[in-house]
Amino acid sequence: MKRKILAMMMILFVAVGMLAGCSQGAMEAGEPVETPEPAAAEPEVQQEPEEQPETAKKAILVVSFGTSYADTRKASIEACENEIAKAYPEYEVRRAFTSQIIINKLAKRDNIEIDNPTQALDRLTEEGFSEVVVQPLHIIAGEEYNEMVEVVAEYNDGRFDSLVMGRPILTGIEDYEIAVEALNEQLPEIGEGQAVVLMGHGTHHPANASYACLQSVLEKEGVENVYVGTVEGYPTLDNVMESLQEDGIEEVTLMPFMVVAGDHASNDMAGDEEDSWKTIMKKEGYSVEIYLHGLGENPAFQGIYKQHVQDAMDGNGQEIPEPSNPVIADASKWVEGKKTIMVVSFGTSYADTRKKSIEATENAIAEAYPDYEVVRAFTSQIIIDKLVKHDNIVIPNPEDAFEQMMADGVEELVIQPLHIMAGEEYNELMEVAKHYEAGFKTVTFSKPLLNGIEDYETAAVALQSQLPEIGEGEAVVLMGHGTHHPANATYACFQSVLNEEGMDNVYVGTVEGYPAYEDVLAKLKADGVSKVTLMPFMVVAGDHANNDMAGDEEDSWKTMLKQEGFTVNIYLHGIGENPEFQQIYVNHVAAAMSVE
């Protein structure tokens, strides 16, 4: 049995060897060889490809007034755009101009097509962009900038996942300080009897106060012999030349305080015409040099715009209003001849000062316009609620007042705010008023106390009527409220006008803005003042006047000045108690009614 098994194994080994040899020979000879079919593999499962998330399309829309000067456009506007593009490579940078005249000129003359802001935002919508940053290259938050905010607000309806907007160069006091630092990088060396005169554009918008505020901050930061003027606002060239003469200046370098050294810089500032600043100053005997470069050419100012883009992305940019559904007109409710003047103020819970200031101003308006019913509204809901709870006095907020007047069938409405300036509270009131505008046949919007430069001059005259006699070493310190809104520049502008009117011993400060208490204190010490009268520059002598100004707490202005060694008197009356200020508001109603 064993022999049989061994024999069979030997035969098997020989057969396998022969088969292997035949197979190898056949392969070498190129003959086909039958090979067993491989075992069937398991069918491969087809994986569905993972959906890749679409990359969000992002854009930064850089908006400027524009210029038709090709070289300066490249050196300023394009340079700012390029700096922003380098900082944010994941964003596509687009351009828009607000001046349709320049847009049309470039299209016709140079075959260059540039969108206006509406066209640019429409294009971004159509192309499916989801994240958009709008960065204006404006200097101040003036009319052009505010119109931009209104345009952008129309697109704040969810069509973009994210829509934010950057600030102009000058907004809060920190912006002014940063701008002064940037400006220092392009100023020439200024010797004895020499000066730099900055030409800004200027405007009739309240934001024109920014230029006087910039002058104030330049002086605060120790930048001497740099003077700010404007083509179309305040300070004027005449104001600047008065300062140059007082300071003994003989040589001047003219420099544009504009993003682009365009038409105003080339002609109004540096032109050879009789009315150019260069020609006028030469006729006055000044030696004049020209620096023809816009701020947009300065890398430091380019960096400011870049930072403002980042601020907007971080949620610290311009607040963009959401679209509202305005009231629909219903003429059937109007009562023919029913006319109302709505007088709106922040309000106060101090009964005596409310009667002497707010009510007194309302009475002056009512006396001037006996055909109109005068109604009151407060913007502070806290004060409204406090008066209801403690005094059972019901005063409407603006929304409730509008609703009631519509229900009463008011046909003609005039809105007169008792605000000092066109700040956040005033602008919010205007937004509410626009929402209800169609509810009346006519709505007339009046101005706050300080709007154009003429208002500042009139207010300075009115203030003189309540100032005490100011002797040697004495001063009056006005306490304003202050705000983080760009309109805070109003206070520095008012200080400038007071100085021009010869009221050098009257100092303006604010509780929550610029100039701050520390700024006023530094000036008082520098001018050798030893005796101070504190006076509120507010319509109502309310909480701020009674506590922050005249209180006995450690942080009141009265206490702090006394600790610094000053003799301090208190004048606790709001400017609303002054008949001359009341008349200013009456005149503003008249001016508003006279506008067709």
pLDDT in tens, 102-120: 999 999 999 999 999 999 9
Mean pLDDT to the nearest integer, 478-494: 97
User: CB within 8 A of 329, min separation 6: which ones?
Assistant: 438, 439
Residues 127 and 502: their CA atoms lie apart, in Å, by: 59
The residue-averaged pLDDT of 240-255 equals: 97
Asked whether the predicted pLDDT for residue 134 surpasses 60, the reply is yes
249 pLDDT more than 50? yes
Structure tokens at 268: 């109004």
Catalytic residues: 201
CATH code: domain 331-449 is 3.40.50.1400
CB-based contacts of 595, cutoff 8 Å, min separation 6 = 444
Report the C-alpha gap between 530 and 132 in whole angstroms.
Answer: 55
Report yes or no: 447 and 592 within 8 Å, Cβ to Cβ: yes
pLDDT at position 206 is: 96
**Could you give the CA distance from residue 381 to residue 171 in angstroms, rounded to a whole number?**
27
Assigned architecture for domain 58-165: 3-Layer(aba) Sandwich (3.40)
147 three-state secondary structure: helix
- As a whole number of angstroms, the distance between CA 566 and CA 524 comes to 10
> pLDDT tens for residues 331-352?
999 999 999 999 999 999 999 9
Contact 85, 93 (CB under 8 A): yes
What's the mean per-residue pLDDT of the chain?
92
Query: Does 5 have pLDDT greater than 60?
Result: no
- Cis peptide leading into 468, omega within 30 of 0? no
- The structure tokens 């061994």 sit at 6
Lateral strand order in the sheet of 92-97: 92-97, 58-64, 131-136, 162-165
C-alpha torsion 579→580→585→591, nearest 10: 130
Q: In this model, does residue 40 exceed pLDDT 90?
A: no
Q: Is the pLDDT of residue 313 over 70?
A: yes
User: Regarding beta strands 226-230 and 194-200, do their DSSP bridges make them parallel or antiparallel, or are they unpaired?
Assistant: parallel
Contact criterion met (CB below 8 Å) for 309 and 84: yes
Integer Cα distance of 346 and 384 in angstroms: 10
pLDDT of res. 49: 53
For the whole model, what pTM was predicted? 0.88
Question: With 50 as the cut, is the pLDDT of residue 567 above it?
Answer: yes
pLDDT for the residue numbered 47: 56
Which tokens in the block code for residue 114? 């540039």
Task: Answer yes or no: is pLDDT of 21 > 90.
Answer: no
Nearest-angstrom CA–CA distance, 528 and 467: 20
Alpha-carbon Rg for the chain, nearest whole angstrom, is 36
Across 450-475, average pLDDT: 96
* CATH hierarchy code of domain 467-572: 3.40.50.1400
| Tokens at 580, concatenated | 């001359």
Mean pLDDT of 291-300: 98
Q: Distance between CA 28 and CA 179 in Å, rounded?
A: 88
Q: End-to-end CA distance of the chain, in Å?
A: 132
Lowest mean pLDDT, pick from 8-12, 248-252, 347-351, 363-367: 8-12
Q: What angle do CA 488, 543, 397 make, to 5 degrees?
A: 75
**Cα–Cα distances in Å, from 231 out to 188, 199, 236, 237, 491?**
22, 7, 7, 8, 21
- Report the C-alpha gap between 509 and 481 in whole angstroms: 8
Which stretches within 73-133 are classed as H helix?
79-87, 100-110, 117-126
Domain boundaries, the chain: 58-165, 187-292, 331-449, 467-572
The answer to whether residue 368 scores a pLDDT higher than 80 is yes
CATH of 187-292, one of 3.40.50.1400, 1.25.10.10, 3.40.605.10, 3.40.1280.10: 3.40.50.1400
What type of residue sits at position 105? K
| pLDDT range class, residue 29, cuts 50, 70, 90 | very low
The yes-or-no verdict on residue 360 having pLDDT over 70 is yes
